[in-house]
Amino acid sequence: TRHNIPTARYRTFTQADAEAARAYVRAEGAPIVIKADGLAAGKGVVVATTPAEALAAVDDALAGGFGAAGATLVIEECLVGEEASLFALCDGRHALEIGTAQDHKRAFDGDQGPNTGGMGAYSPAPVLTDALVEQVMARIIRPTLAGMAEEGHPFTGFLYAGLMLTADGPKLIEYNVRFGDPECQAVLPRLMTDLCQLLLGALDGQLHHMNLRWLPLHALSVVMAAKGYPGSYAKGTEIRGTEGLESDDLLLFHAGTRREGGRLLAHGGRVLNVTGLGTTLAEAQARAYAAVDRIDWPDGFCRRDIGWRELQRG
Ligand code: GLY
């Protein structure tokens, strides 16, 4: 707000302001979003569709429903549109756009089920056209970097902008100061420029002299997770069939596996990422799922519809 970066209209409240929080909700009406200000592993958000639901969410949050993360609440306007992510590499003063992607946060096909860390992603996100990317860089990323430098906190590293593409243009939902997972597994396989040189360029404040080169390909990454994720799940189940799958256009990223003897075992919630590359998104998707189908892991699951939004657009 201080730097006029387009975002949702919002106010923050602590437990001491409970009555003010309720009054704000009554005045704003619904839909409205109630968020924990702290980190809550993706579980700190309620999108309330009625005022009663919003008031109940505020009361629950102020009673400790979000844990310590909810000591401060953010109550904000419900932005309507399509979500997309843009990544920027920053050197304190300059930012280079380093890819766009769309994640799939819900556990099951059709965007059903609980929120997860992300069940699959594709890059680029064609919904972020070149014109929109330039708009995001001009109105969101560069003003953020300039504002941070001006306020004495120049930022070096990855900025991950979570965006809502609203009828009024792209708005910033949140920043993470890291790459996305699984977005990274779809963005970086397309990058031809040496990542090490880019990271050194960021450290040296030289990004304005650097250009990115990309493979003219689409990438789509499917997450294979342990059954039960994002709830409780078993560890130590055996995964077969990963040998010999990788090629120039099929990459396998191990997120939560371990080797024991000659066996590959699951050792986490999100366990494997299977990334396919193709000249079209449909081709990338077909490659990824053909590899998924060769992996024999009865205790795992994945979504079968990664990429649906873009593929449906045709
Ligand atoms: N995939 C979402 C995240 O990395 O936060």
| CB burial readout 236-265, b (16+ within 10 A) else e | ebebeebeeeeeebbbbbebbbeeeeeebb
Domain covering 218-313 assigned CATH 3.40.50.620 in the classification: no
Beta pairing class for 95-103 and 82-91: antiparallel
Domain 82-105+124-180+196-209 sits in CATH at: 3.30.470.20
Pocket of ligand 1 contains residue 181 by CB under 6 Å: yes
Which residue's alpha carbon is nearest to atom 4 within ligand 1? 180
Distance CA 122, CA 103 (A): 7
| Residue ID of nearest Cα to ligand 1 atom 3 | 180
pLDDT at 40 over 80: no
pLDDT for 239 = 98
Ligand 1 centre to CA of 142 (Å) is 22
Condensed to tens digits (0 to 9), the pLDDT of residues 41-69 reads 667 889 999 999 999 999 988 888 888 87
Q: Which two tokens stand for residue 213?
A: 């080169």
Q: Where are the domains of the chain?
A: 10-77, 82-105+124-180+196-209, 218-313
Could you please state the CATH topology (level 3) that the domain comprising 10-77 is classified under: Dna Ligase; domain 1 (3.30.1490)
What does the pLDDT read at residue 42? 66
Mutational test site, ligand 1, from 83, 103, 115, 175, max ligand atoms within 8 Å of CB? 103
Q: How far is the CA of 16 from the centre of ligand 1 (A)?
A: 32
H or E element at residue 311: helix 308-313
pLDDT of residue 70: 78
Residues 69-92, mean pLDDT to the nearest whole number: 94
Whether 239 and 300 have beta carbons less than 8 Å apart is answered as: yes
Listed in sequence order, the DSSP H helices in 119-256 are 130-136, 142-150, 183-187, 195-203
CA of 220 to the centre of ligand 1 (A): 15
169-217 per-position pLDDT tens digit = 999 999 999 999 999 999 999 999 999 999 999 999 999 999 999 999 9
DSSP conformation class of 9: -
CA of 185 to the centre of ligand 1 (A): 11
Closest atom of ligand 1 to CA, residue 178: 4
Percent of the chain with pLDDT over 70: 99
Residue 140: is its pLDDT beyond 80?
Answer: yes
Q: What is the mean pLDDT of residues 278-286?
A: 98
